[in-house]
Amino acid sequence: MKMPTKLSSSESLSVVASREQICSDLQGEVVILDIKSGAYYGLNQVGASIWNFIQSPKTVQEIEDAILAEYQVDAEVCKRDISALLEDLAAKGLIEINNEASA
């Protein structure tokens, strides 16, 4: 699927971790190995929470709600940061994004 310009603006999108990687929890953080490229990626505690949450399909809104419930953060900052993280993960092929309406 082609990435939308603003991921957070479309709450009908479903996000799920790609199955073409291996990940490991390391003291609250997550390390991901992309099997296709052999590249490693690291996520901090908040990124790890999101990563663990999207092991099954979730909407962008569900992800935002979960992070807002778990961490004390401004809603707009949360939305912006989650959008940036998901766009980065998608660009690296680590997550799959689908339009729920067509799923």
Structural domain boundaries enclosing 73: 10-97
Which conformational region is residue 6 in: left (phi greater than 0), alpha (psi within -120 to 50 degrees), or beta?
beta
Sheet of 95-99, strand order = 58-59, 13-17, 95-99
The per-residue pLDDT for 100 is 66
Question: Which own/partner contact pairs does 29-33 have at CB distance under 8 Å and 24+ positions apart?
Answer: 32/94
Q: How many CB atoms lie within 10 A of CB 91?
A: 10
Q: What's the pTM value of the predicted model, to 2 decimals?
A: 0.83
The CATH number assigned to the domain holding 92 equals: 3.90.930.60
Residue 103 falls within a domain, yes or no?
no
Q: What residues contact residue 22 under an 8 Å CB cut-off, 6+ apart?
A: 32, 33, 35
pLDDT averaged per 10 residues, the chain (length 103) = 48 87 91 92 95 95 95 95 95 89 46
The per-residue pLDDT for 20 is 87
> Which residue's structure tokens are 């939305």?
79
